[in-house]
Structure 1
Amino acid sequence: MDGNPLSAPRAQWARTKIVATVGPACSEVDKLTELVMAGADVFRLNMAHGGPEQQQVVVDRIRQVSRDLNQPIAILADLGGPKIRLGEIPGESIFCRRGEEFFFVDDESKAPNELTATYEPLLEELSVGDIVMLADGTVSMRVEEVKPGRVRTSVLQRGTIRSRQGINLPDVKLSAPAISVEDHQHAIWASKAGVDYISLSFVRSPDEVRTLKDIVRSSSSKAGVIAKIEKREALQRLEEIVAEADGVMVARGDLGVEIDVARVPLEQKRIIRVCQELQKPAIIATQMLDSMHESPRPTRAEATDVANAILDGADACMLSGETAIGKFPREAVEMMNRIAQVTEESIAGRPPREMTRPRADNLQEITRAVVRGAGTMAYALGAKLVVVASHSGRTALALSQQRSFVPTIGVSTSETTLRKMCLYWGVTPLRGAPATNVEQLIRHADDWACEAGLAQKGDRLVIVGGSHLAAGPDSPNATGVHDIVIVHEVEGGAVQASRAPK
């Protein structure tokens, strides 16, 4: 491979990132390679369906694909969280008729209408009037009577339930910790395995996000923590949770059971809006192209759903079963990529977005001003590329959140930072670029842009970096602040740049 992440044979570049879940349908090296070439930027490991030993094999394969393609690829480990599930049901399934009575028991079920659960305190925490949702909300029951070791319910909404399906309790305050012993172990493994992001399921408060961050940092990992919004309590403390997290996933499956499904679209928009204000990446997940489990084409409603998520401002869209167990994993990624391209074309040419909360990005004041100026300058000058040298990635993320349609190339001396950039809207991480010397970086960007067919003589590139680029990283004049913007006119490799005022 030529190492150019924007050139053929990889799919045409879409600014919205694609998260693909790894499973039996795509876990081999050749299949993972196909998904990257189709447009996947991040691979999700579902820790609820495979422990560290199994997932380490997948991590190693993804890293191999990354080396083979000479392209950074991010990995997201998704912790299972305190998911409550039904126990075994005789015959594996049973149809629940409206008005029929079922009993939750704390011992082994002895009758067809007796149910058990994986959550031991369940019977103690249920109260008369509580609603129990089963099978992703397709079946609902109301608690009618609570006795020691036995809870009687009546069916409100009929349907079939199966062994080990999820149980949702929308209005019940559960004592279950957000991070179980197993989740803790999985988080430590993911941190030591070099995973780039770790997501926490069923977040209820910012304290839970901080706890996972502490676990990650204690393992000497720089992995970002993604908060999954799928509980009513999370919506009530949304801004606090988003502020604490490194990114957010809108997990619409469980969220649509925890709250009225009619409210999910509005809450999705609100979550994305808060993420924009606080400059945190937002991932939209669950059933985006669900019919592509079995079909090579999505429904029109699914295509519209993906497009609307992008128009809402999502940084990434996620495929779950479509790539993990579906019959058409590559086609699903290609389709999502195509929808993203067409949707982005409809809003291309807009000026960079103004940040409504200038302090939310944790950037130094000069860096913030430089980032804002660089985006505006690139738009006004019709620049072909913005190249940002960023050690931690925060500056690249800030540029991403401006939603400039001038392609942004992220360079760094840190491979970890490059992989994190895979989740940033509109940012393409590039390996091998000299990120500590301004003249070398300009020459490299000039040569690379021309070779990739992204620029030609006379075109303009905007370079964003810190004083270390000019002074050298060990110079006493290197501040670590991004305080340099350079406008470079392409000369096919010749360095002729004019430095913009700070």
Structure 2
Amino acid sequence: MSRPRLNEARTKIVATVGPACDSVSQLAALIEAGVDVFRINSAHGSISQHAEKLANIREASEQTGFPAGVLLDLAGPKIRLGHLSSEPLACPLGARFAFVRGNDSQREGELTSTYPRLIDELEPGDRVMLADGMVALQVESVTASRAECVVVAAGEIRSRQGVNLPGVKLSVAAMLPSDIENAIWAAQNEIDFISLSFVRTPEDVRSLKDLLNSYECRALVIAKIEKPEALANLERIVQEADGIMVARGDLGVEIDVAETPVAQKRIIATCKRLMKPVIVATQMLESMHHSPRPTRAEASDVANAVLDGTDACMLSGETAIGSFPQESVATMDRIMYKTEQSIVAYQNPEAVDVDDMHRATHAITRAGMEVAEAIGSKLITIATHSGGTAWVKSNTRSLIPTVAVSDHLASVRRMNLFWGIEPIFCEDIADTSHLIEQVTRWACDQTENGKNVIRPGDTMVVVSGSDVVAGADNVISVHTLS
């Protein structure tokens, strides 16, 4: 088993599966390069195609011995252009277009969308952003059947490209029928994470959780922050969700692009305080679609996300349709690893909001880390059934290598999203001697520059979760590796 490795980035990598990487051999290569979680984008393809991707991911995990997590990204109420009369369609400055009802543009200068109530909800003065914000229209007048617009930022558009309406209050539901269908499929197929697009309120998150609970699904729900309303309700959304994604693509269109970097930092800081994992996504290594090397600005973008405290960074088109998917993953891992070396080890961490349920776990994991630092331990091991103790431990941001061992494969896959946690499957974690033997065997295989990272005589601190040791809350023990 080559992964997990102690000499890889502690910040996790999420990679989108697409035509450039969807075979078993390609997925296995991405796992070896550093992918922790694979994303299936439900906006592209049918459920049968999603199932094929999932089967290939599971087989690649079997081949590599590394149970990669799987995230299904629900498309949500994404508004798109209908079919254009010609494409690409040039939109010169000052040109006039009209949104009309229907699915296909019948006349030159007319546009349609996938949202039937678009014309009803537009008002004069509203902005309509097309093609990820590259083209901007301003609404001049609205009738029962048409919304007349003028181009205020020129460019080209194509059929099915996205439509963003900054500041426009839409009545569209949080989940469309297709999202519900995809979520049910995910619940029935042990998907580890499900992300919800265009979240506006905590009730949006709750609606998805209620649906999953009805199928007894334990997938973690990731709320994507990409609307101004989500920023206004950020604290409550983070509290309701199991994790957060900073979806900078649509967020950078829905708000002023100049505000996006500060919004990203605010979202990450809120997630750290409330102890929720956070993923930074979109255009992390955009130039690696067609180049084997990123720009300096992209490398700095990844590094700054790591320094801000993100748990994971996500690759989208770089792995899904790019020419260098494996190189993109390896490059991101290398940037993260180098950046993490500059992080000062655990010292007076930022205050976090710990609820009563996790208060003892937080105290014990923090104490275990302090013991490890005091005696110079080379390794911390977390024994956990559910992964909850590992989740709490990841928020300490200690640089001491940490292995989390679980006897539930689903928990192992979910822990792939937790910063600094290297998850391992073990059949019986209640048997301490068996647990120590398994971790010791794994530790002996860890090398860097041809030398063993951990040697006989090194100490290891073991923190057992409250669900592992009968009659105890959490337990700390120190062991010498032989």
Change (3 A) 1:74 1:352: farther
Aligned to 1:463: 462
Aligned to 2:132: 136
Any idea what SS the aligned residue of 2:386 has? Answer: coil
1:215-294 to 2 correspondences below 5 Å? 215-294=211-290
Distance 1:183 1:215 in 2: 11
Q: Give me the whole-angstrom Cα distance separating, in 1, the residues matched to 2:324 and 2:271.
A: 32
Which residue of 432, 438, 444 maps to 2:432?
438
Amino acid at match of 2:35: A
Contact kept, 8 Å, 2:444 with 2:454, in 1: the verdict is yes
Q: Provide the rounded CA distance (Å) in 2 between the counterparts of 1:143 and 1:357.
A: 45
How far apart, CA to CA, are the structure 2 residues paired with 1:353 and 1:321?
38
Structure 2: segments with no counterpart, 5+ residues: 447-451
User: Which segment is superposed worse, 337-346 or 443-452?
Assistant: 443-452
Pick from 112, 122, 126: which aligns with 1:116?
112
* 1:438 CA drift (Å): 2.3
1:80 partnered with 2:75: yes
1:365 and 1:446 mapped to 2: Cα distance?
A: 30
* Alpha-carbon distance in structure 1 between the residues aligned to 2:467 and 2:351: 29
Change (3 A) 1:4 1:113: closer
User: Deviation at 1:211?
Assistant: 0.7
Find the counterpart in structure 2 of residue 65 from structure 1: 60
Does the 8 A contact of 2:3 with 2:32 survive in 1?
A: no
CA deviation after TM superposition for structure 1 residue 39, in Å: 0.4
- Report which stretch shifted further, 93-102 or 403-412: 93-102
Q: How far is the alpha carbon of 1:95 from its aligned partner?
A: 1.2
What is the deviation of 1:94?
1.3
SS in structure 2 opposite 1:333?
helix
Q: 2:392 aligns with which of 395, 398, 407?
A: 398
Closer, same or farther: CA 358–100 of 1 in aligned 2, 3 Å: closer
Please point out which of 88, 96, 102 is paired with 1:101: 96
Q: In the alignment, what sits opposite 2:373?
A: 379
Is contact 1:352–1:402 with CA below 8 Å preserved after alignment? no
Q: Give the aligned partner of residue 368 of structure 1.
A: 362
Distance 1:3 1:436 in 2: 25
Match of 1:389 among 383, 387, 399: 383
Q: What secondary structure sits across from 2:271 in the alignment?
A: helix
8 Å contact from structure 1 (residues 407, 426) kept in 2: yes
The partner residue of 2:475 within 470, 477, 484 is 484
* Distance change >3 Å, CA 469–CA 222, structure 1 → 2: closer
Give the AA of the match of 2:265. Answer: K
**Which moved further from structure 2: 36-45 or 215-224?**
215-224
Distance (Å, rounded) in 1 between the aligned partners of 2:221 and 2:48? 22
CA offsets 1:290-322 (integer angstroms, 9 cap, x no match)? 011111111111111011110110100000000
* Distance (Å, rounded) in 2 between the aligned partners of 1:330 and 1:240: 37
In structure 2, the partner of 1:90 is 85
The question of whether the paired residues in 2 share the 8 Å contact of 1:200 and 1:226 is answered with yes
Write out per-residue CA displacement over residues 371-411 of structure 1, whole angstroms, 9 at most, x where no aligned residue: 11012222232211110011111110111110000111011
Instruction: Sort the Cα spacing of 1:83 and 1:173 in 2 relative to 1 into closer, same or farther, 3 A.
Output: same
The match for 2:191 is 195
Preserved CA contact (<8 Å) 1:353 1:402: no
Q: Distance in 2 between matches of 1:187 and 1:341?
A: 34
Residue among 316, 323, 326 paired with 2:322: 326
Going from structure 1 to structure 2, the CA distance change for 1:36 and 1:178 (only over 3 Å counts) comes to: same
The alpha carbon displacement at 1:489 in A equals 2.1
Consecutive aligned runs of 4 or more in structure 1 exceeding 6 Å deviation: none
Bigger shift: 395-404 or 439-448?
439-448
Q: Do residues 423 (structure 1) and 417 (structure 2) align?
A: yes
The 1-side partners of 2:227 and 2:467 are apart by 45
Q: Which residue of 1 aligns with 2:5?
A: 6
Aligned to 1:498: none
Is the 2:13–2:36 contact (alpha carbons within 8 Å) kept by the matching residues of 1? Answer: yes
Aligned residues: 476
Output the CA distance in 2 between the equivalents of 1:291 and 1:315: 23
Aligned to 1:338: 334
CA distance in 1, matches of 2:466, 2:174: 43
Mapped pair 1:22 → 2:21: no
For residues 183-215 of structure 1, give each alpha carbon's deviation from its aligned partner in whole angstroms, at most 9, with x where no partner exists: 000000011111100000000000010110111
Deviations 1:111-158 (A, max 9, x none): 211111110000000011111111111111111111111111111111
Alpha carbons 1:228, 1:251 under 8 Å: kept: yes
Would the aligned equivalents of 1:86 and 1:164 in 2 still touch at CA under 8 Å? yes
Does residue 47 in structure 1 map to residue 42 in structure 2?
yes
The answer (yes or no) to whether the contact 2:428–2:434 under 8 Å persists in 1 is yes
What CA distance in whole angstroms lies between the structure 2 residues aligned with 1:402 and 1:17?
16
Q: Please list every run of 5 or more consecutive structure 1 residues that lacks an aligned counterpart in the other structure.
A: 471-477, 493-502
- The 3 A distance-change label for structure 1 pair 467 and 381 is same
The answer for the alignment partner of 1:125 in structure 2 is 121
Q: Is the 8 A contact 1:353 1:404 kept in 2?
A: no
- Aligned equivalent of 1:499: none
Residues 242 and 248 of structure 1 are in contact (CA less than 8 Å); yes or no, is this contact kept in structure 2? yes
Distance 1:100 1:359, change over 3 A: same
Deviations 1:12-71 (A, max 9, x none): 411010000000000000000110000000000000001211010111111111112221
Distance 1:95 1:77, change over 3 A: same
TM-score (norm 2): 0.96
2:426–2:435 Cα contact (<8 Å) kept: no
- Give me the whole-angstrom Cα distance separating, in 2, the residues matched to 1:468 and 1:219: 24
Matched residue SS, 2:319: helix
Alignment partners' CA distance in 1, 2:83 and 2:258: 32
Any idea what SS the aligned residue of 2:148 has? strand
Q: 2 CA distance for matches of 1:118 and 1:469? A: 51
